[in-house]
Structures are given as structure tokens and as C-alpha cells.
Structure 1
Amino acid sequence: MSKLKGKIAVVTGGGSGIGEAISKLFAQEGASVHIMDLNEEQGRQVVDSIVNDCGDAQLHVCSVSHQADVMKITAAIGKIDILVNNAGIAHVGNLENCSELDFNHLFEVNVKGAYNMLYAVVPQMKNQGGGVILNLASIAALVGIPDRFAYSMTKGAVHAMSLSVARDYMKDNIRCNSISPARVHTPFVDGFIAKNYPGKEEEMFAKLSSSQPIGRMAKPEEIAKLALFLCSDDAAFITGNDYPIDGGFIKLNN
């Protein structure tokens, strides 16, 4: 368990869901993990779990949408070998159900947040001779998903930024890829179902699960394993690619 031995990894939104799974797996593989999360309680729980498992982790409480905070924290961390841009929020609704407030909030966190991290970390990676960046996009960036107007917009931007960074900084030994998951079973999904479909939780969970041709949602740990591969030296020849991890949703959902 040493694919990332000696590496320093920053995981945004590492306090829950996919980010939590990535943080824990990276620590198990030898990385020193720096979690950046707005939720101090959740972030602390993940850090404590990693430390109790003999791993190395630290928590930095901040919103990635605030550039000054991002710059300060990343400068204090210093050398960063791996950046995982995972922090993000969701929104359900089509164009007519997306207010200006909704649109701006999604943009601030999902797009500007990713930009802020890239803006802070890429120069550091250049100065140290290279690094690896992984951005969490979504199948919503690649195909039309009902009632995901603003969310799809943000993930399309993340996908495009990944390609741009991969091209511009290849000569600096910086690799940049993205992952596009379909629906993943996280606490957010359970909360969404409980809030919007009280009394029909099991029925809606089954319906949402069956939307993937494989017949279930992904597990956060499955996304983390793909992230580990792409951020390790096993993927040293891979850059500028997006990897759908979707249970057949894009190609087989017809």
C-alpha cells in the first residue's frame, strides 16, 4: 500500500462522500493528505479516522470560492504533488427553475473554486518540477441530464479547464485529467431522497439506482480507486483525458 509514498496530496471537499473516500485511500497508500473543506466537523472526523489508522492528514477549513483563503492555505502547505479538485455542490432544476442566485452560487463553488485551486497550485507545481491534477467532472458534462441545467454548466467548465491545463503545462511535467462519475451513493443522495420523497425512500432509491444500466449506483470507494490510479505513477503517460465511471450510462443507456 505505497503507491503514493512520500507524496503530498490536497483534496478539496475531502470531508464527505467521494472526497472522503479519496482522502482515506490516498492516506492508506502513503500520501500526506491535506483536506480542504468548509464543514469543520465532517473534515475533522475524516482526519481523525485517517490518523487513527496510522495515516497522515490535516484539515484546512475554508471555502474554495474564496481565493485569498485558498492562496494562503496552499502557500502554507508548500510542496503539493497531487491536487484533487473534488469540492462541489449540486442543483436540481432546468433553466426556468434556475434563479440568478442559484446560477451564481453554483458557479462560485464548482467553477471558480476549481479555478482558485488551479491558480494557486499550478505555479507551485511548476517551480517544484511537476505534479498531478485530477478534477471531478460529471457525466452531466458529456450528455444531457434532465433538470441539471446549472450543474451541467459547471461540470462542462471543469472538463474544459482540465483539457486546457493539461495542454498548457505538459512541458512543466504537470499531468491533468478528469473523472466523470454517474450517480454515486453518498450521504447527499440519501438526504436528497429523504427531503424530496418522504415515505418513498426505498422506491426512489431503487429508481435512481436503475438509471444506470449496471443496475446500481457507484460506491465512493470505486471512484477513489480510479482517482488513485490516475494520480499515481502508474498513470505517468496519461494526461488530458476524461474518464467516465458510469455503470454504462453514456454508451449503453438507450
Structure 2
Amino acid sequence: MNFIKTTEQTSHYDHLEKMSVKELLTNINKEDKTVPDAVEKQIPQIEVLIEEIVPKFEDGGRLFYMGAGTSGRLGIVDASECPPTFGVPYDMVIGLMAGGDVAIRKAVEFAEDSEEQGWKDLQKHKISEKDVVIGIAASGTTPYVIGALKACNENNIITGCITCNKNSPMSEVAQYPIEVIVGPEFVTGSSRMKAGTAQKLVLNMISTSVMIRLGRVKGNKMVDMQLSNHKLVNRAIRMIMEEIPVDENTAKALLNEYLSVRKAVKAYHGKRQ
């Protein structure tokens, strides 16, 4: 199959430096509006990957995101938001990035070019058949990610990927590829723009849907969220008041005692029975 990097194709816009600020914003926004439609076309592919992840979690497995540059950072962001949002352990969803933690803030030269390092990084976490690994690369050509996915396949570990090019080398390796084709970027080759937005949307869909299927949301509320600041504590108090017929002081007392919306509500119903 032919492989053309649409993420590297020339922008539909030219002479950007001559545009007014309003023209720049309007045109960037015009391009951004196309991203959700591109994601929608991949819902069937996202669904089958999620259906593979849920039972792995139920069996004690973990989810790994792997990427480089913007893609790696997006994976780390999504992984880091799962514990505070859903109350899961910090080692349940793990983001790995070429170049390590240093690369989160500052690019590490040539870190993504090693086809062996990704698997080495996974081995540090004692990767096993219980786990799932999702590679993230707008280009679909990152050696760090592709090498890791190949090694996972050889070791009976489920693999998926999120890319923004059709028929990429990464898609050929991943068992469950997700290809969100967003076309050329407003600034030619700047895949932190539409491609990055597309990847973020897909990551939101994967982690949120998986956690809901695992029972980490009740109704539409984050009943297992960590109470890490006053805003979240106040939100938790309101959630308890909406769930059971108590006043604010009682809700606050229940939350202080059980330190969890779910546990507070469960304890209240238990005492009423």
C-alpha cells in the first residue's frame, strides 16, 4: 500500500506572515473544526480497542501510552489525569516518552530514533501479557514506538496505535490501529496543531470510556475522584448532597469521615437500612 504523509503536506494557506491576527485565528479555527469529523470516522476502530482494554484491566493489567515529542506528551497528560479523575492507582495507566521525563519539557535529540529503547523502557515496568500498549505518533513512523510495538506483538501483548496518516508503518505493526486523517496543518508540518488535537480527543475517548466501563463513574459523576484541592472538595460535597437527602454540614462530615463520594454515599445508605 502507498504511504503518503498527509501531515507533512503543504498547508492550504500561504503567506501566513501577511495575514492579520483575525485572519490567522479564523483560518486556524476553520481547520480545527474538521478534526472532530475525522475522529468520528474512527469510532469503530476506537471501540474495538477499548473492548480489548477493559478485560485486561479487570484481570489486573495496565495501559501504556508510548510516543515522542507532542505525541508522547499527550500520552503522559492523559495517563497522569486518570488517578485524580477516577481514583485509580498511578501505575494503572502509564505514559512513556522517548528521551524520558526530561523530554517532557525539553526535546532530547534523536531520542525517538532508537528502535530498541521503547521495549527497554517497557521492560523497566515489567510489561506482561496482561497489559496493553498504545503507540502515539502523528507521522506513524517513529522508530521508538514502532520497535516497542513489534516487541509487544512478539510477546503476546495487545497493541494499538493513534496516528494521523493512512497506511503508516506504525499502523501495519499495531493490532488495533486508529488513523485520524486530518490533512495538512495550517503551518506546514506542525503536527502539534490538528494532529495533536485529534490525538487528544481520541485519548479522552479511550480513557474516559474505559473508566466508565470499569465502574469509575456513577450516573455522570466522578465519584472516585481524588480530593486534592478545595475546588474538588466542594464539588464532592455538592455531589453527596445531590445523591442523598442531606444538608451541607452532614455531607461535609460524611466526606471528612470516608474521604470519598462513593464511600460516603454507600455508608449513608448502609446506615439507613
For the superposition of Structure 1 and Structure 2, which TM-score range results when normalised by the shorter chain? Answer: 0.3 to 0.5
Q: Which has the higher strand share?
A: 1
In the superposition, the TM-score normalised over structure 1's length comes to: 0.41
- Whichever of the two has the greater Rg, that structure is 2
